[in-house]
Amino acid sequence: MKPIEMNDIVNLAKNRWFVYAWSEIYGWLANSWDYGPYGARMKENIKNLWIKEFVQKKDDMMLLDSAILMNPQVWVASGHVWGFSDPLIDDKNTNERFRADKLLEDLINNLWDNANILIEKYGVTNLIPESWSVEKQKEVMVWEKVKNPNNWKEWNWTDIKKFNLMFKTFQWVTDDSSATIFMRPETAQWIFVNFQNIVRTSRRKIPFWVAQVWKAFRNEITPGNFIFRTREFEQMEIEYFCEPGKDLETHAEWKENCRIFLIETLWLKEESLRFRDHDKDELSHYSNATTDVEFKFPFGWWELRGIADRTDFDLKAHMRESKVDLSYFDPVNNRKFIPYVIEPSVWLTRLFLATLVDAYTIEWDWEDTRTYLKLDPKIAPITVWILPVVKKISDIAKPIFKQLSEDFVCEYDDVGSVGKRYARFDEIGTPFCITIDSENYDAWNVTIRYRDTMEQELVEISKLNEFIRGKLK
């Protein structure tokens, strides 16, 4: 069986209305994408499932919505102004720019089992280049003669410089440094800054959760792999405020919560996921524990989401910068403390791509090859497709569309042969097709066809909505 390649996913996404190149008629803006009619619906379905599982079903969760532009001091306090950067290196021969840590990751992957020799040879404690100093990254690149991945010629690298990932913009009518503000690189800081307001207005007692879903922006040096790494993306984040000392226990619970959601709600295959706990020397300065949930994309294992124990770092940082007390008073035990925070964060756009990859299915037989998206019906962009066998019976088919669209996302199509329409609906991931012909209609029946098995069944028109609701459960 031929392995699924990234080109297979990209071609389906472009041809079946999932993802378009951004500003394509003007020559495209590199690594920028628009979500077409089916991509927008599918992404919204994933988002709504996440909100249902982690907000709607929780009695101590709040969903908030924050501004893209914030007071620039927020990003000073959080460390983003000075520390939110990637190691940038240039090839002097071609003037191309790369992330040094990503070039080193490729080196390590190519060395396979021999990669451990780097630990002894260069005195590093792990094989995670992101955690190495820039001096150590440059040393390894020089002595291992890491080549330009675009032309495979001998290296001629500049020194490594730290490149801040935040997009700058300006407020008021001037564009000097005093008017500089930033587009948010994450959604979490707004929750920390408003912690006092949340406690006061919600009257919630710790532990409680605050969730947010919205866009973030990062000036990535090396965006790519389709929609995996882009400069504009959507995050779904939760900040779980708990008592100090209970954070590690809560972190472990969240690992299981995330596993259940990915496998049982989104139908991702268990073998496509792995949970990688950060070593102590890899942890961020604010973290007690961090776990990356990685997914096996066609281009390798890459981070899908993170689960971090952020301790009390953020609230303390904003207290120092703002001079406002963000501690919490526990009325039950009559004590005051600064809460610890567990942060399960996931890139919605990466989750969208992982769902496409895992659902992409090819079936071979002696006569034909069938490609379809085996999506959970709750995620599929179209739940029911209505197709009359021939166009001239649209007068009896349109009322059935109207009947079903009261309860389900439906689409109507009467163009082309039934077989070709089935193939198109399969590639979009539509779980149910309703085929209408005059003979069965005269007996008050229609045919429902199932995407995964291609089996067909007669259903009474008056019971059609109820029948599909039962199947969705």
Full set of structural domains in the chain with CATH: 6-82+166-358 (3.30.930.10), 85-164 (3.30.40.230), 382-472 (3.40.50.800)
Q: How many Å apart are CA 396 and CA 194, to the nearest integer?
A: 56
Neighbours of 127 (CB within 10 A): 18
Q: How many Å apart are CA 38 and CA 411, to the nearest integer?
A: 11
The predicted pLDDT at position 220 comes to 85
Rounded average pLDDT per 10-residue block, the chain, 473 residues: 87 94 85 93 97 92 90 91 87 90 89 88 89 91 90 85 89 72 92 93 92 91 87 94 95 95 94 94 89 95 95 95 95 94 96 97 84 96 95 90 96 93 96 93 92 95 95 88
The predicted pLDDT at position 113 comes to 82
**Left (φ > 0), alpha (ψ -120 to 50) or beta: where does 203 sit?**
left
Strand partners, 87: 162
The predicted pLDDT at position 282 comes to 86
Residue closest to 149 by CA, chosen among 302, 299, 297, 33:
299
First to last CA, the chain: 33
Which residues lie closer than 8 Å to 437 by C-beta, 6 or more apart?
Answer: 388, 389, 393, 447
The predicted pLDDT at position 172 comes to 74
State the DSSP H helix or E strand holding residue 47, giving kind and residue range, or none if neither: helix 37-51
The predicted pLDDT at position 1 comes to 59
The predicted pLDDT at position 27 comes to 84
Q: How many Å apart are CA 126 and CA 394, to the nearest integer?
A: 65
**Left (φ > 0), alpha (ψ -120 to 50) or beta: where does 334 sit?**
left
The predicted pLDDT at position 60 comes to 87
Phi, psi of 223 (to 5 degrees): -70, 160
pTM of the predicted structure, to 2 decimals: 0.89
Q: How many Å apart are CA 428 and CA 109, to the nearest integer?
A: 34
Q: How many Å apart are CA 158 and CA 138, to the nearest integer?
A: 9
Question: What is the Cα 23 distance to its own chain's centre?
Answer: 22
The predicted pLDDT at position 170 comes to 87
Residue closest to 209 by CA, chosen among 51, 364, 333:
51
Two tokens, residue 169: 């913009």
Taking the CA atoms of 459, 461, 462 and 464 in sequence, report the sign of the dihedral they define. positive
Q: How many Å apart are CA 10 and CA 209, to the nearest integer?
A: 36
The predicted pLDDT at position 125 comes to 86
The predicted pLDDT at position 150 comes to 86
State the DSSP H helix or E strand holding residue 457, giving kind and residue range, or none if neither: strand 456-460
**Left (φ > 0), alpha (ψ -120 to 50) or beta: where does 311 sit?**
left
Residue closest to 10 by CA, chosen among 227, 295, 222, 220:
227
Which residues lie closer than 8 Å to 360 by C-beta, 6 or more apart?
Answer: 4, 8, 9, 12, 371, 373
The predicted pLDDT at position 56 comes to 94
The predicted pLDDT at position 82 comes to 81
Give the angle subtended at the CA of 470 by the CAs of 468 and 473, to the nearest 5°.
Answer: 110
